[in-house]
A and B are shown apart, each in its own frame.
Chain A
Amino acid sequence: MRELTYNEAAVEAVAEEMRRDPKIFYMSTDPIGPLLREFGEQRVRATPIAEAALTGMAIGAAGSGFRPIVDWRQVTFCFVAMDQIVNQASKIHYMFGGQVSFPVLYRAAVGGGTQLAAQHSQSPYSMFMNLAGLKMFLPSTPYDIKGMLKTAIRDNNPVISFEANRLMARKGPVPEEEYTIPLGKADVKREGSDVTVVALAWLVHEALAAAEELAQEGISVEVVDPRTLVPLDHETIRNSVQKTGRLVIADEAGPTAGFSAEVAAVVTEDAASFMRLKTPVKRVCAVQVPIPYSPVLEDHVFPDRKRISAGIREVLQGREPADAA
């Protein structure tokens, strides 16, 4: 199968949908070259640096029959648009009794590893998960981002596509044929029996690397990639934990009130999953600080395959020898 980068797959998804539906248009402070060349300045707009206005205009255009895409670029740039996101986009459909729908796609790059420091490196999705009325996802592969973006563009709600800075240039197979991936469906990226690792984005790849290493010691790791954050696929996560009895959650964000806390709650408040847990849940997250610049500090703050392995070993401590096939 041909290979595309994560970024190329995303652009291809947008281009295909724009070809299909003339109501789709795209706004960002610096437009994406291939989109601009194909669709022209009316549909691919270079905007002033005015994210609050763009975020709100998309809601209004959506409520007036269009299907706008706003590319915030770094997620940190959308914080100037918090009123439009929180008070307007997330509430408007509910508050007005569902009169019309608001099909908007917001795109935002998240995560670190770029040494761009606190104002350009953040993984704040749990801030948005806390709202009702916004769907959101964070894919880990070119295949997933393409399929999920296409679904999100067709969705009749405001959807946020969180996209990992660390994965932009990463390649993976993407079929030429049309396909979509539904929102709300997790993907088991590797099957295993001793421990479940629920991971997002770049950490899916780090978890897979850790799983590969640990396999040589006879440790069997299952890697679950939720992909969609809202609505979160509880069932796949719970089923995996019921099978393995152990849970490690890996997230590039800090732990406090984070995605990782949500996953831990989804598992532990479910009686069938809770009863199967053999050891406490382990979270492998970023240190809870604004992201620092110096590589020494940045590397210290983020989790990686080593810390995931250590987390796995921790939940495996005291494992019955019979368990180790």
Chain B
Amino acid sequence: MQTRSPNLPPDTQREMLRRMLTIRRFEERASADYLAGKIYGVVHCYIGEEAVAVGVCGALERGDRIISTHRGHGHCIAKGADLGRMMAELYGRQTGYCKGKGGSMHIADFGIGMLGANGIVAGGIAIVTGAGLAAQMEGKGSVAVSFFGDGASNAGPFHECLNIAATWKLPMLYVCENNLYAAQTAAAATHALSDIAARAAGYGIPGVVVDGNDVFAVYQAANRAVDRARSGDGPTLIECKTYRWRAHTERRGQPDPRDQQELEVWKGRDPIARLERQLREQGDLDDSGLQTIERDVVTALDAAVAFAEASPFPTPERATDDVFSA
């Protein structure tokens, strides 16, 4: 069951669909280009989980800050990052967000409040809690959002930061993307509680479980948490139950020990198809409307790839730039 449409203008709802589709098409392209040898290192795809990033970021303002994980393309796109500079980073080019120094696991755009994807599990949680502290001290009502996986919820920084944020009433959202696996290891094998949100009680903050494939459910939970944070009542832990459709990484030959039937069940809960269906039922989307969105997404993506391909690689000497700030 899909959550009833929130009180959002149809344009905004269609924009959510466009962003989710952009994430999916971006990653389909990134995966293909990775296998073609145009993208290096590793790519972690977010496909299947698009409703989490888009639902949460839909509840944010530009001045709010977020942090991401190793699976970061979705958070970047949802916060409004430029597709060309993202793709150029994946292509290792000088025009990429990190001038080719970071790659897929390390895209950041501080200008839009996206404090970076992170290669270390739970590595971002403390950093973004610092952004939450800054927001509190600035006193302008901004919030900060930590995206992290079920795996990261077992690491020390999660617990240390929830405790501090709860005690200091920091304007934070802790958004756990529970896709049921940490790499090859099932979540059930690494924590005794089935709901990570239940841990919130131990820190004296609200913990909510939402259907992470239902963009409006995510949006509404995030909205409530943002209201709470902006009004000075402190953090919320939101656990989004979801599933990744692809293997942990795009590496060739990477084993995927997950049950194929389980995967099929989750594909049946496709967050994009659900939103599309709902918008149609509401009368806010028809075939031509969908075609327009699809076409816009593909056009934007083609332009991003063309930009990346036309961009130069950094010259080798650039390797020593930026070790220190001026």
Q: Which residues on A are within 8 Å of B, measured CB to CB?
A: 29-30, 46-50, 52-53, 76-77, 79-80, 114-120, 287-290, 292-297, 299-301
- Output the least CB separation between A17 and chain B (Å): 24
Q: Which residue of B lies closest to A120 (CB)?
A: B119
A293 near B41 with CB under 8 A, answer yes
Task: Give complex CA distance A134, B128 in Å.
Answer: 34
Bound complex: CA of A29 vs CA of B119, how far in Å? 15
In the complex, the 7 A-B pairs of residues with the closest C-beta atoms, listed nearest first: A119-B119, A294-B92, A294-B100, A300-B316, A293-B103, A48-B154, A115-B40
B106: chain A residues at CB < 8 Å are 117-119, 293
Q: A30-B185, A77-B120, A117-B101 are in contact. List 4 more A-B contacts (CB 8 A).
A: A116-B119, A290-B323, A292-B100, A292-B319
Residues of chain A within 8 A of B317, CB atoms compared = 300
Does B273 count as interface, using CB distance less than 8 angstroms? Answer: no
Q: Are B151 and A117 in contact (CB under 8 A)?
A: no
Nearest chain A CB to B90 CB, angstrom units:
9
Closest CB-CB distance, A25 to chain B, in whole Å?
A: 16
- In the assembled complex, B155 has its CB within 8 A of some CB on chain A: yes
Contacts of B191 in A (CB 8 A): 48
Given A117-B119, A300-B316, also A294-B101 (CB < 8 A): yes
22 A-B residue pairs with CB within 8 Å:
A46-B189, A48-B190, A48-B191, A50-B155, A79-B120, A80-B122, A80-B155, A80-B156, A116-B42, A117-B41, A117-B101, A118-B106, A119-B105, A120-B42, A287-B320, A288-B323, A293-B41, A293-B100, A294-B314, A295-B40, A299-B316, A300-B317
Greatest chain B CB density within 10 A among A79, A287, A299 is at A287
Residue of B nearest to A73 (CB): B183
Residue B184 lies at the interface, judged by CB distance under 8 Å to chain A: yes
Chain B residues, Cβ within 8 Å of A53: 156
How many residue-residue contacts, CB under 8 A, span A and B? 118
How distant is B34 from chain A, measured CB to nearest CB, in Å?
A: 11
Q: Given A116-B105, A117-B103, A119-B118, do A294 and B185 touch, yes or no (CB 8 Å)?
A: no
Q: Please name all residues of chain B whose beta carbon is closer than 8 Å to the beta carbon of A76 when the two chains form the complex.
A: 119-120
Majority DSSP secondary structure for residues of A touching B: loop
Whether B59 is near chain A, meaning CB under 8 Å from some CB there, is no
Q: Which of A47, A288, A297 contacts B316 (CB 8 A)?
A: A297
B182 near A115: Cβ-Cβ < 8 Å: no
Across-interface contacts of A77 in B (CB, < 8 A): 120-121
With A29-B182, A287-B319, A289-B319 as known contacts, state yes or no: A49 contacts B155, CB within 8 Å: yes
**Interface residue? B267 (CB, 8 A):** no
Closest to A114 in B: B41
CB distance from B321 to the nearest CB of A (A): 9
Nearest CB to that of A77 among chain B residues? B120
Query: Which residue of chain A has the shortest Cβ distance to B123 in the bound complex?
Result: A119
B91 → chain A closest CB, angstroms:
8
**In contact, A294 and B121 (Cβ under 8 angstroms):** no
Contact of A301 with B102 in the complex, beta carbons under 8 Å? no
A117 touches B182 (CB 8 A): no
Q: How far is the CA of A124 from the CA of B188 in the complex (A)?
A: 34
Which listed residue, A46, A49, A114, A297, touches B319 by the CB 8 Å rule?
A: A297
